[in-house]
């Protein structure tokens, strides 16, 4: 589960987690503009010392514009994973990302879930981030990773 396009560092990291073992990815992307409210994102930016980003939170795409950005981010991520030699499928999630995640885990018989996002300190503190909530919902191990750099 991701919220933005994977960077090359992210792709290298997730594709090498299991050594030479063949891995396939089923990527769910919920566009960032839809997944958290602006205030929480701005607080996270301030906590990370990214004041310029906090100011720009009002410019984060939402609605139809977020879907367009999300579609491009998903395609970039899937192409990068495939180029790295992994099988990869994916889809955008507009509503209820954890329900969609649970369904995908059951449909494909996933062995684990990787949640790869920027840090969300407020949500993490209250265990309301995707990884914390997924651990109680999906029935497989959940690995929480932070994006290596901005996409």
| pTM value > 0.85 | no
Give the domain ranges of the chain: 8-16+23-47+70-146
Token pair for 68 = 């367009």
9: which 2 tokens?
Answer: 């560092």
Judged by DSSP in three states, 69 sits in helix
Range 93-104 average pLDDT: 90
Tens digits of residue pLDDT in 28-81: 998 765 445 655 555 656 666 665 664 555 555 555 555 578 899 999 999 999
Residue 151: band (very low, low, confident or very high) from pLDDT cuts 50, 70, 90: very low
Gap between the Cα atoms of 78 and 72, Å rounded: 10
What is d(CA 88, CA 15) in angstroms, rounded to the nearest whole number?
Answer: 11
Contact assessment for residue 42 and residue 57, using Cβ atoms and an 8 Å cutoff: yes
CB atoms within 10 A of CB 54: 18
| Residue keyed to tokens 């205030």 | 39
What CATH number is given for 8-16+23-47+70-146 in this structure?
3.40.50
Report the pLDDT value the prediction gives residue 143, as an integer from 0 to 100.
92
In 16-60, alpha helices (H) = 32-35, 38-47, 51-56
Q: Which of 52-61, 76-85, 94-103, 140-149 has the lowest mean pLDDT?
A: 52-61
**H helix or E strand, kind and range, residue 136:** none
Q: In whole angstroms, what is the distance from residue 86 CA to residue 24 CA? A: 6
Using CB atoms within 10 A of its CB, is residue 10 exposed (0-12), middle (13-18) or buried (19+)? buried
**Among 14-18, 34-38, 42-46, 139-143, the least confident range:** 34-38
């Amino acid at each position: 589960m991701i919220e933005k396009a994977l960077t090359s560092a992210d792709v290298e990291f997730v594709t090498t987690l299991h050594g030479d073992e063949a891995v396939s990815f089923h990527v769910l992307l919920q566009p960032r503009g839809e997944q958290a409210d602006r205030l929480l994102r701005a607080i996270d930016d301030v906590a990370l010392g990214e004041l310029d980003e906090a100011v720009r939170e009002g410019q984060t795409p939402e609605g139809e514009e977020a879907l367009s950005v999300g579609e491009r981010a998903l395609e970039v991520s899937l192409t990068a994973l495939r180029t790295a030699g992994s099988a990869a499928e994916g889809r955008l999630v507009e509503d209820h990302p954890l329900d969609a995640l649970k369904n995908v885990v059951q449909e494909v018989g996933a062995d684990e879930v990787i949640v790869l996002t920027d840090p969300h300190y407020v949500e993490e503190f209250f265990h309301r981030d995707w990884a914390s909530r997924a651990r109680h919902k999906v029935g497989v191990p959940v690995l929480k990773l932070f994006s290596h750099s901005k996409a």
